[in-house]
Amino acid sequence: MTKTTDFIPQEYTQKLTEKGSFQWSAPSNIALVKYWGKKENQIPANPSISFTLNNCKTITKLEFEPKKSTSKDFAFDLFLDGKPKEDFKPKMQKFFERIEVYLPFLKDYHFTISTENTFPHSSGIASSASGMGAMAVNFMSIEKLFNPEMTEEYFWQKASFLARLGSGSACRSIKGSVVVWGETESIENSSDLFGVEFLETIHPNFQNYQDTILLVDKGEKVVSSTVGHELMHNHPFAQQRFEQAHDNLARMKQILTDGNLQKFVELVESEALTLHAMMMTSMPYFILMKPNTLEIINKIWKYRQQTDIQVCFTLDAGANVHILYPNNSKDKVLQFIKNELIVYCQNQQYICDEIGIGSFKLN
Ligand code: PMV
């Protein structure tokens, strides 16, 4: 079994005195079985599984050059859409601190991080998964220069491992269409340390599965996910919830292979509502859904009943609604969304996405 120490490199075989750069794109992901609650060092309290998205992504260029000064601090500049982004720096500084032991070259270089998201800024869609995912793969490209013998498997595993240290669910944004994170009996080689690609044959019903994201509320969340995860400590239902996630993951594995869409809908919606039920039963309790979130959920239920189209919703830690549906119902569901749901979105905004394959290098 892979251990944390396996990601601490031996002496590098190559020296790197030149400057250079890489650019990677990393996608966002949407969990089907949700991660909520964590232990120390970003270890999940329960396993999760997600669809990788295709259109919602972060593109990050990472330039590096040997540091001229002998300062013992990390040295980096950070730009979002070409403009300096000072308020992202503390989070990045923390990320550097957490991963330094695994990337011992970090203090020898000055980095320029230039990042952009394909989805609207402050849309309420978390950019931390795609953002940290893109940083992690860039760093792995640099490490590969020091250690050209590195295997593909090590590259991807460690990229996911590093992304996890930036933001838990980011480890599911590295490689694969469906990714499992967290050790669980039903998935061979699953790990708490990194996400693994779901290797079973996925039923054609899920090919090009659609995710339309309705932007219900773009404001700052009343409670951050960091705080939300913490509230699972001493939560009265935590233990049952963690056990349920293992069971639901085994169920989801079966559903994804046999293509049973009724069961998919049932499980995905139940997981979304359970996540929010955990928030409502925390102490202090909180609610991230908005009245329009519930309006949309009710409309989806009604539409499903009337049409028999297997469209369902899921939620992240926020008010926005992800609508998941099969590719062969795309035209009808999009029409339904336009006719009946966009009135509940802020500025009528929504994003059309679908299942993707993971991060890729751009230069
Ligand atoms: O990765 P974090 O710490 O932002 O947590 C995200 C948790 C959920 O999005 C609510 C669920 C999940 O598994 O993605």
Residue to probe by mutation, ligand 1, list 91, 225, 315, most atoms within 8 Å of CB? 225
Q: Which atom of ligand 1 is nearest to the CA of 30?
A: 14
Between the CA of residue 132 and those of 95, 98, 99, 201, what are the distances in Å?
9, 13, 12, 28
Sign of CA dihedral 19, 58, 48, 309: negative
State the Cα–Cα distance between residues 255 and 111, nearest whole angstrom. 44
Distance 170 CA to ligand 1 centre (A): 9
One domain for residues 276 and 174: no
We report the CATH number of the domain holding residue 60 as 3.30.230.10
Judge contact between 33 and 47, C-beta under 8 A.
yes
Cis check for the bond before 284: say yes or no (omega within 30 of 0): yes
State the Cα–Cα distance between residues 206 and 131, nearest whole angstrom. 26
Tens of pLDDT, residue by residue over 291-310, are 999 999 999 999 999 999 99
- Flag whether 271 is in a domain: yes
Range of the domain at 182: 4-200
One domain for residues 191 and 223: no
Distance 226 CA to ligand 1 centre (A): 9
Question: Which of 135, 170, 200 is the last residue before a domain boundary?
Answer: 200
Q: What angle do CA 177, 179, 182 make, to 5 degrees?
A: 180
State the Cα–Cα distance between residues 94 and 64, nearest whole angstrom. 19
Residue to probe by mutation, ligand 1, list 169, 181, 274, most atoms within 8 Å of CB? 169
pLDDT at 313: 98
State the Cα–Cα distance between residues 320 and 330, nearest whole angstrom. 20
Sign of CA dihedral 215, 218, 223, 224: positive
Q: Which atom of ligand 1 is nearest to the CA of 168?
A: 1
Question: CB count, 10 Å around CB of 347?
Answer: 9
One domain for residues 229 and 186: no
Q: Which residue do the tokens 């919703």 mark?
A: 313
pLDDT at 122: 62
- Flag whether 360 is in a domain: no
pLDDT at 124: 64
One domain for residues 160 and 24: yes
Measured from CB, residues less than 6 Å from any atom of ligand 1 are 31, 34-36, 48, 126, 128, 167-169, 225, 229, 275, 316-317
Sequence-separated contacts (24+) of 205-208 with Cβ below 8 Å? 205/259, 205/261, 205/326, 206/256, 206/259, 206/326, 206/355, 207/327, 207/355, 208/327, 208/354, 208/355
Distance 333 CA to ligand 1 centre (A): 26
State the Cα–Cα distance between residues 224 and 167, nearest whole angstrom. 12
One domain for residues 68 and 37: yes
- Flag whether 272 is in a domain: yes
pLDDT at 333: 98
- Flag whether 46 is in a domain: yes
One domain for residues 157 and 276: no
One domain for residues 84 and 133: yes
* Secondary structure of 11-54 as H, E, C letters: CCCCCCCCCEEEEEEEEEEEEEECCCCEEHHHEECCCEEEEEEE
One domain for residues 254 and 328: yes
Nearest CA to ligand 1 atom 4: 225
Distance 163 CA to ligand 1 centre (A): 13
Judge contact between 162 and 139, C-beta under 8 A.
yes
Tens of pLDDT along the chain (363 residues) come to 899 999 999 999 988 889 999 999 999 999 999 999 999 999 999 999 999 999 999 999 999 999 988 788 999 999 999 999 999 999 999 999 999 999 999 999 999 999 999 987 666 676 899 999 999 999 999 999 999 999 999 999 999 999 999 999 999 999 999 999 999 999 999 999 999 999 999 999 999 999 999 999 987 778 899 999 999 999 999 999 999 999 999 999 999 999 999 999 999 999 999 999 999 999 999 999 999 999 999 999 999 999 999 999 999 999 999 999 999 999 999 999 999 999 999 999 999 999 999 999 997
One domain for residues 96 and 237: no
Distance 57 CA to ligand 1 centre (A): 16
State the Cα–Cα distance between residues 59 and 130, nearest whole angstrom. 8
Distance 32 CA to ligand 1 centre (A): 11
- Flag whether 255 is in a domain: yes
One domain for residues 195 and 222: no
Q: Indicate the number of domains in the chain.
A: 2
One domain for residues 218 and 159: no
83's CB contacts (< 8 A; 6+ apart) are: none
- Flag whether 218 is in a domain: yes
